Structure 1
């Protein structure tokens, strides 16, 4: 107590206080400071927002009580509720305070285009994300290199995802599904034929198994039951909102992340070394495709670069695909009629006279219209990433269409701000989509509907080559399931192949039932939007494939 009073006396010498304060008992003086100082700070912050004139060239700032902390709690608990409520008050463009950062949100297709379609001289994904991704992926790749190099790295990856490679994946994915359900989950004729499962946990395991068997290579797949699994778990622990906001905390999880990153990188290096020596038999996987790749200036990818790219592929695809497959299966478990329709689609197209099915091929996937619609509707309602950040590198003049109509001057987003896109808002906007909160896959089967027009705008809009081959820019589409612009995901076709094959295997072989009283709510406290308490039961169908 004496030390506290000494500090308060020093502060009192700098801030004049009433005479009566000095005669108060010491405990009361401490309480007054503890309560009074924060109250004063909050009061001044409120006064500044409501009483002082604001710069009308800047977007309006979301009202908040606590400086620095800002709207962190409001935004973090339910980002979409925050976005839609702020849109009602401020329009499609507004700024909020997030742990000392000034984040300007640009909503709607025009807002998405402002951020995701911005020039590299104005917006930077590298400066927004490198502090999160570099400790996990490793140095020299993705956001730890100039954008021009990243675009070339995406081209290297895209060159490994050939049609021939994609055609080889469905049988491998099916085999992994069969092994996982029969042995890991234990749902087969010789064991209990029904089991309650945490769907998110199961899909996380199945996604990494199928990705390792296809993209990652035989050596990675064979190591998933050993030390590699623990390394992945520790590395995954460094991919959280806490790491994004505070990248350098002295926490044990950060230490485990760093140790795991080095060990996993060395693991891939060893695979490459053994292959170069001819000491291992392998298929033409992504590692083989990356070996020998060179940048335009003639500099080859190093073994360490390849290792880090492989880690990035593993981590980036793992979270998004496990979340999306979980959401899709939850909706199917909650919609028995839709589930039966998917089964009948498989029976009609691929059923054999004896009641079995023929194996699904890459070409077959494109014929499954209802399956495709189910995946699209899942991605519409459950965008894996609710917020996409860019660092503002130079002032961004805002088009009049995004400025408030009552303002005489157009807005400018200043250098040093962050600009945020939220494609999920457009995908759930009731002004665009009829019954936007209702899971309705059939909307994607209407060739004259909003959904078809959105796909057309996403897939067949202006073609741009950012350095990894011509792609549809797609930044003004209200539907952007795999991002848009220069950072559009190059693994889109692989993701569809993986998700389609897994869902098809489950539909053919099992029935599902939701094992919770209501449809699972959304957990927004993770980097990827995930379901909470996603319990379902799988029951083996009478006819086994």
Structure 2
């Protein structure tokens, strides 16, 4: 028995040594394995991916392979070459990575759901007439929540809160009411969701401590219960988004337990980004007075066209009239704070040809990672002084949209990529943009909003959130606010 165990351990050690002894072959990207066997650069990658990959880029250039927790990941940072990965669904696959993440984070398995069918279902709800209905419903809920926040307050009484807390709370609750249509458990769902979301990156990386794992499991199970069809059916209409989603899963052969778990996945994907995006946008405006005045001036021009009371909202004006300054501020905000990672598994050996004509051999079983946050979004060759917020970065001198950016004299297809790209780009982009516009429009036209400390600086980002959509702050910005006495004070 002991001899058998010895042989097994010896065999395992030999396999580890063979795997760890990988060397760079001809025409492969530069290889950087790190000093730790198997782990490689996993700790540094998980702690601050942007800092680590920036260092690797300086060392190796726009393409390199790193070892991360047993995986060899080829990182591509040339935006002109992204399409050569995104458009190749034969050699590059996302399904296995997605399956692993769903199981790890949400304890969810959807073996029969085809990506094309799921995308088709999502498009049906976030485009055309359905999009208009969702946007109108979202606006109504935002107005009601904004008013209810001031119940019991005098007409000139200030309230104080963290800006991140304020934005996330209002947008999450409005989004939950819009999609799930359950009013009596909104506060509890939000509370549990924030607990779960705070631990989500560690769930994805399997780096939770024992007490954190208990907390994550508790919040996840509670959210499954709160989002179950039985709990939600009392407030949902037959043709609601939530009911439609469960019917779709039934048609795809998903059992009742997995349907319940899938509801949490949908809650996270639809509600995790709007609040943080609104926080950063308002935070940049509050800390850049010239940008705030430019946006308010533009909104005043819209408001002059019609009454802007909460009883007669003018959200439709944002769709009927161009708002180039507002749009530039939003684009600049997303450039600085949207940090999605696009990952693919190499399912067969591939010769990847870059835009500059160089060719690299990628091995089957490795992974490819595109990180648009680092390039193009934070690339100084594309965006001058990329670390600095410039509200007019996406404006031409004639106030038209600036959408042409260059690197090495060649125009880029992607100047920024906050919504991903290709077949996996965000289907809900229009709904998200409309929602953020509605929210910021309502706050700036109906609230006096200011920082508690006029000299305060916008907090830094939480570096563990790189790769998971919108970045979140490592702290908060304290603000105070009150309802405006009239709508002409802005």
State the TM-score bracket (shorter-chain normalisation). Answer: 0.7 to 0.9
Q: Which runs of 5+ in 1 are unaligned?
A: 1-9, 15-43, 275-279, 456-474
Please name the residue that 2:118 is paired with.
Answer: 153
Q: Secondary structure at the match of 1:435?
A: coil
**Contact 1:103–1:417 (Cα < 8 Å) also in 2:** yes
TM-score, normalised relative to structure 1: 0.73
Aligned with 1:531: secondary structure? Answer: coil
Change beyond 3 A, Cα 1:230–1:200: closer
* Per-residue deviation, 1:292: 5.5
Name 1:490's counterpart in structure 2.
427
- Corresponding position: 1:537 with 2:479: yes
Are residues 1:519 and 2:458 paired?
yes
* Alpha-carbon distance between aligned partners in 1 of 2:309 and 2:150, rounded to the nearest angstrom: 22
8 Å CA contact 2:29, 2:64 repeated in 1: yes
- In structure 2, the partner of 1:26 is none
Alignment of 1:423 with 2:372, yes or no, is yes
1:177: Cα distance to partner?
Answer: 3.5
The separation in 1 between residues aligned to 2:480 and 2:377, in whole angstroms, is 30
Partner of 2:174: 210
The question of whether the paired residues in 1 share the 8 Å contact of 2:40 and 2:69 is answered with: yes
Are 1:106 and 1:115, in contact at CA under 8 Å, matched by a contact in 2?
A: no
Contact 1:139–1:308 (CA<8 Å) still a contact in 2? yes
Secondary structure at the residue paired with 1:486?
Answer: helix
Cα distance 1:114–1:253, how it changes in 2: closer, same or farther (>3 A)?
farther
What SS class does the counterpart of residue 32 from structure 2 fall into? coil
**1:245 matched to which residue of 2?**
205
**1:433 paired to 2:383:** yes
Q: Does 1:126 align with 2:99?
A: no
Counterpart pick for 2:268 among 292, 299, 315? 315
Please name the residue that 2:439 is paired with. Answer: 502
Could you say which residue in structure 2 is the equivalent of 1:326?
Answer: 279
How far apart in 2 are the matches of 1:139 and 1:77? 26
Q: Quick one: structure 1 residues 74 and 284, their matched pair in 2 at CA, closer, same or farther if it must change by over 3 Å? A: same
Give the direction of change, closer, same or farther, for the CA distance of 1:522–1:302 in structure 2 (3 Å limit).
Answer: same
* Pairwise CA distance, 1:335: 1.2
For residues 99 and 290 of structure 1, what CA distance do their matches in structure 2 show? Answer: 36
Query: C-alpha offsets along residues 284-338 of structure 1, whole Å, 9 cap, x if unaligned?
Result: 531254466599xx86777667655543221013222222111111101111222
2:346 matches 1:399 = no
> d(CA) in 2 for partners of 1:369 and 1:306?
42
Residue of structure 2 in register with 1:470 after alignment: none
Q: How much has 1:209 moved relative to structure 2?
A: 0.9
Q: Aligned-pair distance for 1:519?
A: 2.8
Task: Provide the rounded CA distance (Å) in 2 between the counterparts of 1:166 and 1:269.
Answer: 26
Going from structure 1 to structure 2, the CA distance change for 1:401 and 1:344 (only over 3 Å counts) comes to closer
Contact 1:193–1:539 (8 Å) recurs in 2:
yes
Give 1 or 2 for the bigger CA radius of gyration: 1
Aligned 8 A contact 2:307 2:314 in 1:
no
Change (3 A) 1:293 1:362: farther
C-alpha distance 430-136 of structure 1, shift in aligned 2 (>3 A): same
- The answer to whether structure 1 residue 166 and structure 2 residue 159 are counterparts is no
Give, in angstroms, the shift of residue 138 of structure 1. Answer: 5.8
Offset of residue 246 of structure 1: 2.1
Task: Output the CA distance in 1 between the equivalents of 2:483 and 2:221.
Answer: 45
Q: Distance in 2 between matches of 1:128 and 1:430?
A: 31
Shifted more, 178-187 versus 439-448: the winner is 178-187
Contact kept? 1:171, 1:359, Cα under 8 Å: no
Supply the distance in 2 between the matched residues of 1:304 and 1:329 (Cα, whole angstroms). Answer: 40
* Pairs within 5 Å for 1:456-475: none
Q: 1:232 aligns with which of 186, 189, 193?
A: 193
What number of residue pairs does the alignment pair up? Answer: 456
Selected match of 1:445 from 395, 401, 408: 395
Assess, with a 3 A threshold, how the Cα gap between structure 1 residues 373 and 289 changes in structure 2: closer, same or farther: farther
Pair 1:260–1:288, CA change in 2 (3 A): closer
Which residue pairs with 2:13 in the alignment?
none
Corresponding residue for residue 87 of structure 1? 57
Q: CA RMSD in A?
A: 3.7
Following TM superposition, by how much is the alpha carbon of 1:130 offset from its aligned partner in structure 2, in angstroms? Answer: 2.3
* SS of 1:411 mapped into structure 2: strand
Q: Please state how far the C-alpha of 1:446 moved relative to its aligned partner.
A: 1.6
Q: What is the CA-CA distance between 1:360 and the residue it aligns to?
A: 2.3
TM-score when normalising by structure 2: 0.80
Query: Which residue of the partner structure matches residue 3 of structure 2?
Result: none
**Cα gap change, 1:115 to 1:198, in 2 (>3 Å):** farther
C-alpha separation in 2, matches of 1:259 and 1:281: 21
* 1:124–1:392 CA contact under 8 A, matched in 2: yes
Per-residue deviation, residues 253-283 of structure 1 (Å, max 9, x unmatched): 3532552364245x225535x6xxxxx6638
Partner of 1:377: 332
In the TM superposition, residue 104 of structure 1 has moved relative to its aligned partner by 0.9
1:360 aligns with 2:321: no
Conserved? CA contact 2:281–2:329, under 8 Å: yes
| Cα distance, 1:414–1:303 mapped onto 2, change above 3 Å | same
**Aligned equivalents of 2:474, 2:350: Cα separation in 1:** 38
C-alpha distance in 2, partners of 1:318/1:258?
Answer: 16
Contact 1:122/1:393 (CA < 8 Å) preserved in 2? yes
* TM-aligned CA distance change 1:101 to 1:261, over 3 Å: farther
